[in-house]
Amino acid sequence: MQKSRFVSGLIGAVALVSLTQCFTQKKNEGERLYAEHCQSCHLEDGKGLRGVIPPIAGADYLENHRNELPCLIRHGIEGSITVNGVEYNQKMPGVETMPEDDITNLLNYIQTNFGNQNRRYTLNEVQDLLNLCPPHQH
């Protein structure tokens, strides 16, 4: 009996460590996605290119247009936007194939880094907002 408790405890500990590792690896998923899809334009520090690419760092746009951000990630944006009182008119490509959980991770990374302290998204919220995206024309 003693041996079986030990084995059960050991299996439980290994499962817990494995599960924690899984979540730990996902914890940096938003940062990885930012580096892969956003950093080349918005830069490593999120400050963008003055007058050309809007900043993500300290950007009022993130909270003012919160409900539009999942669609913006998926479909991109074209036309004029105003970020921190400065107008930008540079086309941003979307990532049509990005899964909803990755969009959630990416948005949460942006919302809580670069000096931003905005509310995080839930996966359900992102899914609901993506269902409301206006029809996208290629």
pLDDT of amino acid 120: 97
Using alpha carbons, select from 98, 79, 84, 101 the residue that is nearest to residue 46: 84
User: Which pair of structure tokens corresponds to residue 50?
Assistant: 């003055």
pLDDT of amino acid 7: 52
Q: How far apart are CA 31 and CA 91, in angstroms?
A: 23
pLDDT of amino acid 2: 60
Residue 2's SS3 state is helix
Residues of the chain with pLDDT under 50: 10, 13-24
Q: How far apart are CA 70 and CA 104, in angstroms?
A: 8
pLDDT of amino acid 60: 97
Non-local (6+) Cβ contacts of 71 within 8 A are 129, 130, 132, 133, 134
Residue 75's SS3 state is helix
pLDDT of amino acid 17: 43
Question: For residue 135, which phi and psi values (nearest 5 degrees)?
Answer: -55, 135
Residue 32's SS3 state is helix
Angle at CA 129, nearest 5°, toward 43 and 113?
30
pLDDT of amino acid 15: 47
pLDDT of amino acid 80: 95
Distances (CA, A) of 11 to 8, 41, 73, 95: 5, 46, 41, 40
29-131 has which fold? Cytochrome Bc1 Complex; Chain D, domain 2 (1.10.760)
Say what the pTM is. 0.79
